[in-house]
């Protein structure tokens, strides 16, 4: 089943063309990677999918809903931007409770909160204020907030940005397990090892255009490459700062 269908998506910021007609599809239960250098258009695309930005031209559908049907889409997706933060004066548990009350029906609140606590793996530290958390702890809390509501589609921009190996591994495992349960993911990451580990298929974006797409194994064979960064260098022709 096609979960996300993007056709000729364009986004202009005045005279700047951030997206210049990209197209791709994402299927149910897969982890799809949208990767490329800084300024390529990745985050712009994710913000359009999450209904934060409007498109200039093209078609975007999520579970057959046009991206303009914002309220219908917001009920079935979650979005975690790279620069997301949490309310520092709240305790971790109160932060989760706030979002449970915001997104969840009354009968499901206790179950959703329990699941959020489990996903965060923060234990007793949930009773402490978020201002006392490390960056890794905050990111785990944010991942729990994003996934505890069991979205049909989770859009994650740099999900493990700035985390140490242990915290990053835990978050990747959470994403893998949720995908096995049927959640569809679109992930953007500068970490090519992470993309290789997580993603079923990828699209490489550069200067607002998709320059290559496919499953990772097939792309490695096509370009006789050892890793995804090597593929990108061969496709684009110059080494970019991922």
Nearest by Cα to 51 from 37, 40, 35, 62: 62
Q: At what angle do helices 135-147 and 165-180 cross, to 10 degrees?
A: 10
Integer angstrom CA distances of residue 62 from 4, 179, 185, 213:
5, 17, 12, 19
Strands lying side by side in the sheet with 2-13: 16-27, 2-13, 57-62, 65-66
Residue 43 near residue 188, CB atoms below 8 Å? yes
Go through the chain and tell me how many residues it has.
242
pLDDT higher than threshold 90 for residue 89: yes
Average pLDDT estimate for 64-85: 92
The structure's pTM equals: 0.91
d(CA 135, CA 51): 27
pLDDT at 213: 95
| pLDDT at res. 237 | 67
Instruction: Convert 204-229 to b/e letters by CB count within 10 Å (16 or more is b).
Output: bbbebebbbbeebeebbeebebeebb
Find the angle CA(172)-CA(228)-CA(6) to the nearest 5 degrees. 75
8 Å CB contact between 121 and 159: no
**Of residues 39, 22, 35, 43, the one with CA closest to residue 231:** 35
- Kindly list the distances between the CA atom of residue 185 and the CA atoms of 81, 117, 201, in Å, as whole numbers in the listed order: 13, 21, 11
Q: What percent of the chain has pLDDT over 70?
A: 96
Give tens-digit pLDDT for 6-30: 999 999 999 999 999 999 999 999 9
Q: Where along the chain do its domains lie? A: 2-236
pLDDT digits (tens, 9 = 90+) for 138-176: 989 999 999 999 999 999 999 988 788 888 898 899 999
Tell me the CATH number for domain 2-236: 3.40.50.300
């Amino acid at each position: 089943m096609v979960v996300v269908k993007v056709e000729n998506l364009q986004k202009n910021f005045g005279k700047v063309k951030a997206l210049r007609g990209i197209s791709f599809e994402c299927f149910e239960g897969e982890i799809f990677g949208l990767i490329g250098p800084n300024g390529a258009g990745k985050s712009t695309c994710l913000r359009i999918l999450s209904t934060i930005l409007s498109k200039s031209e093209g078609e975007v559908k999520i579970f057959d809903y046009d991206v303009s049907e914002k309220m219908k889409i917001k009920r079935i997706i979650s979005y975690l931007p790279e620069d997301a933060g949490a309310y520092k004066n709240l305790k971790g548990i109160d932060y989760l409770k706030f979002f449970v009350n915001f997104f969840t029906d009354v009968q499901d609140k206790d179950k959703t909160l329990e699941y959020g606590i489990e996903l965060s793996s923060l234990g007793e530290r949930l009773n402490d204020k978020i201002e006392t958390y490390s960056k890794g702890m905050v990111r785990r809390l944010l991942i729990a907030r994003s996934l505890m509501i069991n979205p049909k589609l989770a859009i994650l921009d740099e999900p493990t940005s700035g985390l140490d190996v242990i915290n990053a591994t835990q978050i990747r495992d959470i994403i893998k397990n949720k995908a096995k349960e049927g959640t569809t993911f679109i992930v953007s990451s500068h970490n090519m090892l992470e993309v290789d580990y997580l993603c079923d298929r990828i699209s490489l974006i550069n200067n607002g255009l998709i320059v290559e797409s496919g499953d990772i194994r097939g792309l490695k064979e096509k370009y006789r490459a050892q890793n995804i960064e090597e593929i990108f260098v061969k496709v684009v022709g110059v080494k970019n700062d991922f």
